[in-house]
Structure 1
Amino acid sequence: MFRQLSLLVLIFVFHPAYSKSLMILGDSLSAGYQMSIEDAWPTLLPEQLNDKGHSLNVINASISGDTTGNGLARLPNLLTQHNPNYVMIELGANDGLRGFPPALIENNLTQMIALIRESGATPLLMQIHVLPNYGKRYTEAFSSIYPSVSSAQQTPLLPFFLEGVITTPGWMMDDGLHPKPDAQPWIANFVAEQLINHL
């Protein structure tokens, strides 16, 4: 009897099925661009969440350079492989830098949300903004994609963490696009504060 109880305790403590998980589907902003993956904010996120009373495994499925189309193509296999409880979509910056049509981006995001829901997971969408390389009209049209998709799909919209990084001296790399390792703990805390409202 004691051996059976001991085995049950080990299963509950160590079996990953009893921990909820969040998969981050992102680009270089989440992939730890030009830094150790241990320093990237998704790696730091579980500790920040734990400090706020939430235990969550984090799966970082981000790849530098990915577009919403790349994310959509990879998503089915990722959902099958990891079976997450939540999926945060942090994609679109590379679409914007390449001037992809807003309608295409919106369609890709909508399809990803549908696939996430079909898998039984909860989708979360992060707002993305881009530099005004293609003029004010495109920049505004791009930014409006996210609240539009969020409203239409009844999906939580998380604010863009980069806005708080850009305004802090010394936190951006020389390319003006990516946050430095120094900014990663702040980003992890910022994302954790946004996430706990939706867990």
Structure 2
Amino acid sequence: MIRILSLIMLLFSSTAFSQTLLVLGDSLSAGYQMPADKSWPTLLPEILAQQSQPTTVINASISGDTSGNGLARLPQLLAQYKPDVVLIELGANDGLRGFAPKILRNNLSQIITLIKKVGSQPLLMQIEIPPNYGKRYTELFSNTYPNLSQSFNVPLLPFFLIDIIVKPQLMMKDGLHPTAEAQPLIAQFMAQQLKPYLNKESVQ
């Protein structure tokens, strides 16, 4: 009887405090040109479980999405999944298409506002673009993220390719997307970055 009760309590503890993380991203998180089960968001739950942070990860990333695309999809995603935490990994396609930084800033501002409005925790990821767009544009683009982080009091997570992009063997030939071999490394990196914001005791 005691063993049965212990098992029930174990199962309860592993599910009652489970939280939901929504990844709102683009091809960098969608598993570009690879099976979906190889993408880092798919690998993340097992690592988080090992950290005693049981988490359901919803990968709502779509290749090619801009910040505007993410903004348009967000209300339905929030209503459907009711996530505790939303990781915003958007902007790379805005930069690659040369969109004005103020467009990126406005879209990300609305995304953060919508997430906060429903009581979820927004996390903003720093995005970097290649330097061939010119120093002024690159700096304006890059500075958008820390400025928003400060303005909205939202955590800013480091770009998850910062240590990957310098290793050609972990990048696809386009120089923009991580390979399947890089996904476990990204998942480990993201688990550490997310750890402070996935506190199961704080989830109601």
Tell me the SS of whatever aligns to 2:169.
coil
Q: Given that residues 75 and 114 in structure 2 are in contact (C-alpha distance below 8 angstroms), is that contact kept between their aligned partners in structure 1? A: yes
Q: Show the counterpart of 1:101.
A: 100
Partners of 2:17 and 2:54 within 8 A in 1: no
Does structure 2 conserve the Cα–Cα contact (< 8 Å) formed by 1:27 and 1:63? yes
State the TM-score, normalizing by the size of structure 2. 0.89
Aligned-residue offset at 1:18: 5.3
1:166 counterpart SS class: coil
Secondary structure of the 1:113 match is helix
Conserved in 1, the CA contact under 8 Å of 2:18 and 2:53?
Answer: no
Contact 1:97 1:133 in 2 (8 A): no
Superposition misfits of 4+ residues, deviation over 6 angstroms? none
Q: Which runs of 5+ in 2 are unaligned?
A: 199-204
Give the drift of 1:133: 2.8
Identity of aligned residues (%): 59
Structure 1 vs Structure 2 CA RMSD: 2.1
Partner of 2:145: 146
| Per-residue deviation, 1:120 | 1.2
Q: Distance in 2 between matches of 1:128 and 1:135?
A: 16
Distance in 2 of aligned mates of 1:82 and 1:73: 16
Give aligned pairs, total: 193
Deviations 1:120-147 (A, max 9, x none): 1110000000012321110111000000
Distance 2:124 2:47 in 1: 20
Q: How does 1:180-191 map to 2 (within 5 A)?
A: 180-191=179-190
| 2:111 partner SS | helix
SS of match in other structure, 1:165: coil
For residue 167 of structure 2, give the secondary structure of its aligned residue in structure 1: coil
Helix, strand or coil at the partner of 1:174 = coil
Amino acid at match of 2:57: V
The 8 Å contact of residues 19 and 57 in structure 1, kept in 2 or not, is answered as: yes
- Which ranges in structure 1 are unaligned for 5 or more consecutive residues? 1-5
The CA distance in 2 between the partners of 1:17 and 1:108, in whole Å, is 34
Q: Determine if contact 1:127/1:157 at 8 Å carries over to the other structure.
A: yes
Name the structure 2 match of 1:3.
Answer: none
